[in-house]
Structure 1
Amino acid sequence: MRRSGVSVGAGVGVGVCVLLAGCSPGHDSTSYFPLAPGARWTYSVQTDADGAASRQQQTISVLDERRYDGKPLFIRRSETPGNIGIEYWLRAQPDGIVRIAQRMDLEEFAALDPAPRTVLKLPLAVGASWRAPTVPYTVMRKNEYPREVKYGRGMPMTYTVEALDEKLTVPAGSFAHCARVVGRAEMTLFTDPVRGFNKVPVTTTEWYCRGVGLVKLERLEKLATPFYSGGSVLMELVEYRMP
């Protein structure tokens, strides 16, 4: 099936007002999700899956500002050595950050999301919640291929702001004024012949710090059955640069 796609010319630059920045250009020291072009974050990502641990670095950067459908958007790129890079089309709206499309390096055009996908609801307030689709990161089949369960299996995750103004320390340093956002989902799997189908909890905890953005992420997919194994992901900020 051919995916519908759209393209934005790289040379189309516009002086837009970043909604989170109170209409001031450049970096905003109060934003929990900076989108200023030139911003760059490097993370250490430790994955425990299938009984083995691995560590790699992931880099996220804001490439530029563009315009699509008469409205501004920001191109945010994620890169991991040895994997395909992905560009995300993000918009800063009064009610939060939303994703409207994505493009992998092997694709000529970006594929529009069926509907805008909330990345972070704003303004942040304890108890605020939203839903967005996700896939399992570390759940593996033991005796079937493809072993990764994430292919073709999506599930809705409910995110809730559980705390504001927390402090935490990661390799990039110590940070204050951080929001803790917890995502919870359930994945239905045939775990074994005795128990049959069961709901497996999936949890993501994210910390967003003012003026920096995402500083830490923990993903838990605990599962050990005759047919499946689970694991965890720990993502911590190593260094960052703001324009």
Structure 2
Amino acid sequence: MIALLATGCGNRNQGNQWFPLREGETQDYAVQYAGEEPREPEQWTLRVAQPATFQDQTVAVRHHSAGVSYYLKADEQGIRRIATRTDIDNEPTADAEPIWVLKAPYQVGTEWTTPTVPYLIQRKNEHPRDLKYTHKAQMTWRIEAVDDTVKLGDGSEHRPCLRVVGQARLNLYTDPVNGFTDVPLISREWYCQGEGLVKFEREEKVPTGFLSGGLLTVEWQR
């Protein structure tokens, strides 16, 4: 499916129907954690800033309230991240290779891979506690559905939606009994037509032992 790029002035859309990147648009997300070790809920805000020129190409810029901007390029191949910039950087840093957000064709069975790190897995008695500083994996993504319905915690329903599932594995020493275990990292994302990302889940469950994991749920708040 060809990306629907909007041109002209005012509220420019640098994305497509599944992931619109309309200049000036803001989306708030409620963030919940579930696991052995409780974490406080959060709120993320993502805002589409003015398009930028990077490496002689016009790209969309999506800013995260955590203090980082993502430089995104959309075309007939899909949407991919090509650079990031933190709020303290003067210039963006190019990704070593483009990182796909969504890859065309937008149909069941389309697959791609991206690098990932553990979001939730932590050491219980060692430092640094977060494994994201020391471990990486390749995640394989697949479009599982193109007409899914998503019901959010506020009761709202969204359709039609792409359901995209990513899976990776980390071989970790979990405890003396199990030894090394292949720990699954599972991501689920729902992109709804005309709305973009409305829900995201990250599941990282580990056997009881040296590590703790959990479930991250992120939902769009209208």
| 1:55 counterpart = 2:41 | yes
Unaligned runs of 5+ in 2: none
- Partner of 1:34, secondary structure, is coil
Query: In the alignment, does 2:162 pair up with 1:188?
Result: no
1:215 aligns with 2:198: yes
CA contact (8 A) 1:28 1:211 kept: no
**Cα deviation, residue 208, structure 1:** 0.4
The structural deviation recorded for 1:48 is 2.3
Q: Is the 8 A contact 1:155 1:185 kept in 2?
A: yes
Paired residues of 1:49 and 1:139 also in contact (CA < 8 A): no
Q: TM-score, normalised by structure 1?
A: 0.83
> Secondary structure at 2:62's aligned position in 1?
strand
2:3 is paired with a residue of what secondary structure?
helix
* Structure 1 alignment gaps of length 5 or more: 1-18
Matched pairs, number: 217
* CA drift at 1:172: 7.7
- In structure 1, C-alpha distance between the alignment counterparts of 2:113 and 2:15, rounded to whole Å: 27
Query: What residue number does 1:143 align with?
Result: 125
Give 2:21's match in structure 1, choosing from 24, 35, 43: 35
Match for 2:176: what amino acid? P
1:112 offset after TM fit, Å?
Answer: 1.1
Report the alpha carbon displacement of residue 43 of structure 1 after superposing the two structures with TM: 0.5
TM-score normalised to structure 2 length: 0.91
Letter in 2 for 1:151: Y
Report the Cα distance in structure 1 between the residues aligned to 2:5 and 2:51, rounded to whole angstroms: 16
Q: Per the alignment, do residues 107 and 49 of structure 1 end up closer, same or farther by CA in structure 2, a change over 3 Å counting?
A: farther
SS of corresponding position for 2:205: strand
Contact in 2 for aligned 1:172/1:238 (Cα 8 Å)? no
Pick from 67, 81, 98: which aligns with 2:53?
Answer: 67
Q: Contact 2:6–2:14 at 8 Å: present in 1 too?
A: no
* 2:187 alignment counterpart: 204
Output the amino acid matched with 2:71.
Answer: W
Residue 104 of structure 1 aligns with which residue? 86
State the partner residue of 1:176.
159
- Provide the rounded CA distance (Å) in 1 between the counterparts of 2:155 and 2:196: 12
Distance 1:30 1:114, change over 3 A: closer
Is 160-169 or 205-214 further displaced after alignment?
160-169
Percent identity reads 38
Q: CA deviation at 1:105?
A: 1.8
Runs of at least 4 residues off by over 3 Å: 22-30
Match of 1:117 among 71, 82, 99: 99
Q: 1:207 offset after TM fit, Å?
A: 0.5
